Structure 1
């Protein structure tokens, strides 16, 4: 829906404002490494696990579980260095030698790279128990596009992850049949910025915002759109996979964190961010709360640093989720 060809942004409720403010003054994490399952002989994928909150999530998993972990990321050299550093830090902090961390190279901003990555993973593993869709792009320079011409955040944060999950679904669902209910999970990393997304999550009249004047507001709306889409997909996944009754699909905002996501921010935004954001380690607690807490149910949304919360009311719409799902299927069909 539009007003003079501009997206409509719904007004925030008191509860929405409370959630936004919570990010500045979150409660201390209570669900931490002491509460994580052993996860012995299980397999985990973390996208973007070579940097930021993904790095901390992988480190916490490597230090506190016995799972086999794979990082899916774009930069081979950077990721191999990160894995080496994670293993050193795990040995120091957790006093153990972690199970070797695997690496699969893929670029979520290039849909042609995803199927080869999944095929490589399938050549190495016969099961998959947990997927943390953590990688993301935040407010890149205006006009940034993926290899296939989508707005970079929509193409990477949404379509890239959708295709990856779509291709992993067969092994993931097969594994879930042999797991107790709730062990197999998909964790879609979204953001409180979803509250700034267009009505219904997506500005369907102009998904790339090609005709929308670019300013500080639309910059946030574009990012919010991609994160609202992740929430819609998290809620839609169980509807489109009704046989996967043991699986939980959930989304979250990891928190307002000091990570490389802010690399495209202005000098003032970076200065303000240092005053108002938290160490990235805290964000891992949010992600792993969603991944492991027995209190999580299908479609739940969590906030920093491991608390249940809500999503903007219009993002609970089945119609909105189904429309996005159908579009994602259509756009990724050529790459399956």
Structure 2
């Protein structure tokens, strides 16, 4: 029953008290938005540019990223920077992090926004990890790990660095992470792509909270958020009647940027470490599994193991 009430509360949010107009001037701040070429990510980049941040659009498609950057410049008069990265390939992430740190000595906010949702079951990452968990969780973990020295060098008590991890309402649909399903094999094949998606979104919450426990005392604020039920390219693998029903319940993409912009740019956002945020720009209650420190340690250890030899 609690899950039902939580789902309703997150799916039917009240009018937002926060708007893009409330974002302060971000001059001098450097930010990365993964998946910044479309959907919620693009809307997030747009708002950051409008408030004078230097923003890197992290995306795997150079063509789509450049097209988005062109669109954003025509809309804002500001030009975002391109950072090519495939979150489903750890070697690509390593190259992208090296490229960024060669160009920049500061990183004020990392928006771990990109992701995939219910792709065909046989799709895996370059390292043979479940595509959803590998992209949504492992890819962002590795990117954050490689950028951690820059985040730490940027952070101060007055202006902490921030890592905003985009989760989903789907994070409440599973009760734990089944580590036997994260790589391809019999256990994974027994689970639906929807279950695997929910598991990856719970993974975002667990990672965000474990990161907060480990680095919150070093002036890095880490939180997770459900951006809302949104009409974006994330649903590209859904079709037919299910897509038509889903579309009737979805909000436009700009709404989805509100919660992570609130977390990443405002004074109040500095106080949200370890919190789970819900539409629109509110503090919510996470899946209890997302708060479990033992599960957090176990997931962190698994993630470290996957990147140890990259």
**Superposition TM-score tier, normalisation by shorter sequence:** over 0.9
Paired residue for 1:290, among 263, 279, 285? 263
Aligned to 1:109: 88
CA deviation digits over 1:120-177, x for unaligned, max 9?
A: 1112111110000000000001121011100100111111100000000001111003
> Is structure 2 residue 171 aligned with structure 1 residue 194?
yes
Give the conservation status (yes or no) of the 8 Å contact 1:158–1:226: yes
Q: Is the 8 A contact 1:139 1:223 kept in 2?
A: yes
What does residue 33 of structure 1 align with?
Answer: 20
Aligned CA distance change for structure 1 residues 242 and 287 (closer, same or farther; 3 Å): closer
* Counterpart-to-counterpart distance in 2, 1:105 and 1:308: 32
Q: Which runs of 5+ in 2 are unaligned?
A: none
Task: For 1:41-52, list aligned pairs within 5 A.
Answer: 41-52=28-39
Q: Give the equivalent residue in structure 2 for 1:207.
A: 182
Deviation at 1:205, TM superposition (A): 3.1
- Give the alignment partner of residue 218 of structure 1, picking from 167, 192, 200: 192
Who is 2:63 aligned against?
77
Runs of 4+ in 1 over 3 A off after TM superposition: 212-215
Give the number of equivalent residue pairs.
308
- Could you list the per-position Cα deviations for residues 211-261 of structure 1 after superposition, in whole angstroms to 9, with x for gaps in the alignment? 25868x8322100110111100100013333651x2210000000000000
- Whole-angstrom distance in 2 between the partners of 1:75 and 1:55: 14
Give me the whole-angstrom Cα distance separating, in 1, the residues matched to 2:187 and 2:192: 8
Cα-Cα RMSD: 1.7
- TM-score after normalising by structure 2: 0.94
Aligned to 1:257: 230
Residues 30, 54 of structure 2: 8 Å contact kept = yes
Give the corresponding residue for 2:275.
300
Partner of 2:48: 61
Alignment of 1:1-336 (within 5 A): 13-14=1-2, 16-63=3-50, 65-90=51-76, 97-98=77-78, 100-177=79-156, 180-181=158-159, 183-197=160-174, 199-200=175-176, 202-208=177-183, 210-212=185-187, 218-241=192-215, 243-244=217-218, 246-293=219-266, 294=268, 296-335=271-310
Contact in 1 for aligned 2:128/2:183 (Cα 8 Å): no
Do 1:83 and 1:101's aligned partners in 2 also have CA atoms closer than 8 Å? yes
Unmatched segments (≥5 aa) in structure 1: 1-12, 91-96
Change in CA separation of 1:259 and 1:242 when aligned onto 2, cut-off 3 Å: closer
Structure 1 residues 41-50 or 22-31, which shifts more?
22-31
